[in-house]
Amino acid sequence: MASNNLESNYEDVDSSPHTPYSPQCASNFHLLDNNSASSNSHIRSNNDSNQLHRASDLLMAVSVCTEGNRLRITELVNAAMDELTNLALDGDPLWKPQEDDQDQADSYYTLMDIMKMVEVGETQCSDLLDLEIDNTKSSSDYENKTNFGHDEDKQQERHHLRTEFSRQIAYVRMEPLRIVGFFMDLEQWSFVFSDIVARATILKSWSSMEPVGGNYNGTLLVMRAEFQIPSPIVETRESCFGRFCKQLAPYTWGIVDVSLEDLFPYPLPVGFRRKPSGCLIQASPNDLSKVIWVEHMEVDQQTIMVDQMYEAYINSGLAFGAKRWVSSLVRHCTWEATLMAKSCSTLNGVLLLQAGRSSVLKLAERMTKSFYRNVSISKENPWIKIPFPGPQDIRVVVTPNLNDDPGRPPCTSVVFSTSVHVPTNPKHLFHYLRHEKSRNKWDILSYGHVITELSCIINGTDSRNRVSIIQVNSAPRRIEIFYLQESFFDESGSYVVFAPVDIYAMAVVLRGGNPDYVAILPSGFAILPDSPRMNGEEDVADGSILTVALNIIDHSVTQRVPFQSMVSMHRIMTETVASIKGAFNIQQF
């Protein structure tokens, strides 16, 4: 289907189209145009940047292989483990509200003297983590902007540096060694924390013993990773760091990360450093593990620029702080428990067999992980800004299926995305976007259609966290399309991710077939609080930052996006955002 036909399909939406149409199902959507020199140059620039990063990775990998550097890294991570343990186990609040009102616009909290920490010593008891901690204050309030220099001149030199510090405690239903394995295995770490980890690689690893049975005690990894929030307009944070695993006591492990850029020559500007960060993990009764997570970062505000819309969210500590990491870990452990359960809660009385439920959950998990990857602004995503005036900054990324991935259509996918402010509570917006009855109000391609949730799998104890199979009808007894949808929320944000699934593929999955061979292209929404604030134990906000990402496929595109295609995508996105915003002018939840 040519791009001008795409436009005509959308023009016909209001007049009850006779055939089903979805942006994810478009085929032959031509994105080739000789006038797209700007997009081509952007891609070349991105390729040059990737080559530079690969060169820096190679340089770092060669540097860390020497015996002298290994000893330097070992000394650094051991000191970092001591500091992490002190920070995690300190019983006093680490921060307090700032009393000086002179600079309220730039700082909400001031970090107390973090060097005055308790001495843990050589504690070797199984209740190492059972110290009393003021969890309400220490896990919910965040230090945002602080200069560590005691000398005035040093403070002036470092005025553009911001320190972010957070601590969070959680209990998860999983044994400690399994959680340790999540961190020390790159594939598992990237999978469990895929909403945060955009890209990661191991440059070097050393181990004092083989990781038999998942015991990684003494293992040291040198890694590079990019950390993201779900938006195409917020720059990722990239760091090279050492990761060290140590068994601190019986049934208690520590995992610490610390940046290495200061130890080695680095050809690129360093805008982000991880101070000693990580977690302590201890076995607890009833098959639980107690996790104390600490995130300690230093950000160069001159190198890493932040869009004004995201400043309050990032400065609150939710964006890259301990609470978000812990929420991701808890969500994954809940997903695994649902996956292994012999029965599962449902609201509509339609029960799926365990094999079918397992396949549906795995397909939904892959769909959601792909959504995170699509909407990221990592080095692998060369986003192109659509050059049209308007309130939305709409961007496009073209991704060919070069690896013949059976989980994607054998053609190029095109994702266009934007982030906007919606003046309504994040919970209200999440409820509206996840509910099937609202779909034909914001999806311009579903006007006039009857939409039904056929079945759902509740993930955990809250019915809003669910995987749904949605059926779209344009006429009685005429099935147009199936959607697989996952909706979930945590303390740092909420998501609604969906993708059309062929009726025959859906039948295979429901019978327990392998979901890895189902081609799926996710679209969806990420909903973040615009200016989080504490209300007792709960983070609340009056407004939301909504990221919309729509995914289409193409059988002929290589790299460039033609002008007419951009016109079509700009119109689709503009109307979708306008429909969502318009709904809250008349609806109250």
High-pLDDT (> 70) share of the chain, %: 68
Q: For residue 253, what pLDDT is reported?
A: 95
Confidence grade of residue 467 (pLDDT, cut at 50, 70, 90): very high
Segment 542-573, tens digit of pLDDT: 889 999 999 987 665 666 777 888 888 899 99
CA dist 284 and 280 (Å) reads 13
Is residue 37 over pLDDT 50?
Answer: no
What is the Cα–Cα distance from 527 to 548, expressed in whole angstroms?
9
Q: What are the tokens at 2?
A: 């040519």
Residue 402, phi then psi, degrees to nearest 5:
-75, -25
Least confident range from 212-221, 261-270, 526-535: namely 261-270
What's residue 404's pLDDT?
Answer: 66
- Residues 268-312 have pLDDT tens digits of 667 889 999 999 999 999 889 999 999 999 988 877 878 889 988
Q: Give the model confidence (pLDDT) of 230-260 as tens digits.
A: 999 998 999 999 999 999 999 999 999 999 9
Residue from 300, 295, 301 nearest 324 by CA:
295
Q: Residue range 73-88: average pLDDT?
A: 93
Answer whether 451's CB lies under 8 Å from 470's CB: yes
Query: pLDDT class for 384, splitting at 50, 70, 90?
Result: confident
Q: 60-92+160-338 with 346-583: one CATH topology?
A: yes
Structure tokens at 280: 């302590």
Report residue 171's pLDDT band, with 50, 70 and 90 as the boundaries. very high
Q: Computed over its alpha carbons, how large is the radius of gyration of the chain?
A: 24
Contact 568, 580 (CB under 8 A): no
The residue extents of the domains of the chain are 60-92+160-338, 346-583
Q: What mean pLDDT value characterizes the chain?
A: 75
One-letter amino acid at 377 equals I
User: How high is the pLDDT of residue 559?
Assistant: 66
Beta bridge partners of 548: 418, 525
- Alpha-carbon distances, residue 123 vs 89, 119, 341 (angstroms): 12, 10, 38
**Which runs of consecutive H residues, i.e. helices, occur in 111-228?**
135-138, 152-157, 176-184, 186-192
β-bridge mates for residue 166, sequence order:
295
| pLDDT value of residue 22 | 39
Q: What is the pTM of this model?
A: 0.80
Cα 65 from Cα 62, distance rounded (Å)? 6
Task: Output the pLDDT for position 321.
Answer: 93
Q: Is the dihedral of CA 231, 232, 237, 242 positive or negative?
A: positive
**CATH code, 346-583:** 3.30.530.20
Assigned token pair, 274: 């991880």
pLDDT for position 447: 78
User: Which tens digits make up the pLDDT trace of 304-349?
Assistant: 878 889 988 998 888 999 999 999 999 999 999 988 887 665 656 5
Mark out the alpha helices in 193-281 (DSSP H runs). none
DSSP per residue, 108-132: SEEE--TT-----TT--STTTT-S-
Cα-flanking dihedrals φ and ψ of residue 384, to 5°?
-115, 130
Q: What is the pLDDT of residue 354?
A: 82
Tokens 């895929």, residue located: 194
pLDDT digits (tens, 9 = 90+) for 366-375: 999 999 998 9
The yes-or-no verdict on residue 117 having pLDDT over 90 is no
| 26 or 159, higher pLDDT | 159
Which residue carries 């290589």 as its tokens? 558
For residue 496, what pLDDT is reported? 97
Model pLDDT, residue 452: 87
**In this predicted structure, what is the pLDDT of residue 58?**
53
Given CATH 3.30.530.20, say whether it is the number of domain 60-92+160-338: yes
Enclosing H/E stretch for 85: helix 67-89
What average pLDDT does this structure show over 526-536? 77
Specify the higher pLDDT residue, 101 or 469.
Answer: 469
* Greater model confidence, 62 or 354: 354
* Between 115 and 418, residue with greater pLDDT: 418
Q: What is the SS3 assignment for 371?
A: helix
Largest CA distance in the chain: 76
Tokens for 129?
Answer: 């983590």
Task: Count CB atoms within 10 A of the CB of residue 302.
Answer: 11
Q: Which residue has the higher pLDDT, 68 or 267?
A: 68
pLDDT at 204 over 60: yes
pLDDT tens by residue, 127-140: 555 543 333 333 33
**Residue in the structure block whose two tokens are 């730039």:** 106
- Write the CB contacts of 37 (distance below 8 Å, at least 6 apart in sequence): none
